[in-house]
Amino acid sequence: MEKATRSILVIEDDKATLNKIKNQLKELNYKVACVMTAQEGVDYCIKNIVDLILLDLGLPDKDGMYVIETVRSFNNTLPIIVVSGRTTTESKVLALDAGANDYMTKPFSMDELLARIRKELRNTYTEEKHLFINGNLTIDYDAKTIFVNGVEVHFTNFEFKIVTLLANNLGKTLAYDYIINHVWGKDGQDQNGLRVFMAGIRKKISRDPKSAKLIRTDIGSGYRMNKIN
């Protein structure tokens, strides 16, 4: 399987720090998006695929805590690393309790930050993953086969593409248009068409009642595959 480029969103209003982080990440072939306000950060996460957030807390419009709380309201798994000038234990506890995965204080060591980024991404992604298992759903990428509760279920080519796209972005809501662009290319399908495909996929997956909640609709925004324990 092709190694996916990981997308990192940097939310930081200090230009020098922002550029330093951005340049370093780009050099290491991460895809980097940068915003300087809390609201832009949240909006970006809703509209785009993000694999990890680096978050400053002292932002011009809202506190960075707003980003943690808002992102956690719709995504439980997206790693968030706080990089903040606030050094008190209380600030760290607040951020971690709100759902941040890690917390670094400024001034920070770039090498240490990079190691912490790698650690978080390792937790959510395995490079040599040919088999995807989530609850009763198993995808065999090599054989292009899907099993529901151990039984092979036939999925059409487009259905297979949709399921693997959702699986590869486990826990993230993918916008309708994002899915359409990835599966059919631009203008390949409208949202109603996608809905028909999703209904077909759901029907096949929900043969097993335990898998019924696997794929969720976030009304008005898109679809998400939930992590099943």
Stretch that binds Ca ion, among 13-21, 22-30, 87-95, 132-140 (CB under 5 A): 13-21
Residue nearest to Ca ion (CB): 58
Nearer to Ca ion, 37 or 226 (CB): 37
In sequence order, the β-bridge partners of residue 34 are 10
DSSP string of 65-124, one letter each residue: HHHHHHHHHH-SSS-EEEEES---HHHHHHHHHHT-SEEEESS--HHHHHHHHHHHHHHH
Q: Could you say which residues in the range 153-212 bind Ca ion, by CB under 5 A?
A: none
Q: Could you say which residues in the range 54-73 bind Ca ion, by CB under 5 A?
A: 56, 58
Nearer to Ca ion, 55 or 183 (CB): 55
User: At closest approach, how far in Å is the CB of 159 from Ca ion?
Assistant: 45
What are the start-end ranges of the E strands in the chain?
7-11, 31-35, 52-55, 80-84, 102-105, 131-134, 137-140, 145-148, 151-153, 173-175, 215-218, 222-225
User: At closest approach, how far in Å is the CB of 151 from Ca ion?
Assistant: 53
Nearer to Ca ion, 13 or 208 (CB): 13
Query: Is-cis flag, bond preceding 107, omega within 30?
Result: yes
Q: Is 120 in the site for Ca ion (CB under 5 A)?
A: no
Stretch that binds Ca ion, among 51-59, 90-98, 105-113, 138-146 (CB under 5 A): 51-59
Read off the DSSP letter of residue 135: T
The CA–CA distances, whole Å, from 14 to 54, 92, 109 equal 13, 20, 16
Q: Is 13 in the site for Ca ion (CB under 5 A)?
A: yes
Nearer to Ca ion, 64 or 135 (CB): 64
Nearer to Ca ion, 106 or 129 (CB): 106
H/E stretch holding 196 reads helix 191-205
User: At closest approach, how far in Å is the CB of 14 from Ca ion?
Assistant: 5
User: At closest approach, how far in Å is the CB of 15 from Ca ion?
Assistant: 10
Q: Is 34 in the site for Ca ion (CB under 5 A)?
A: no
Q: In what order do the strands lie in the sheet with 215-218?
A: 173-175, 222-225, 215-218
Interface residues toward Ca ion, by CB under 5 A: 13, 56, 58
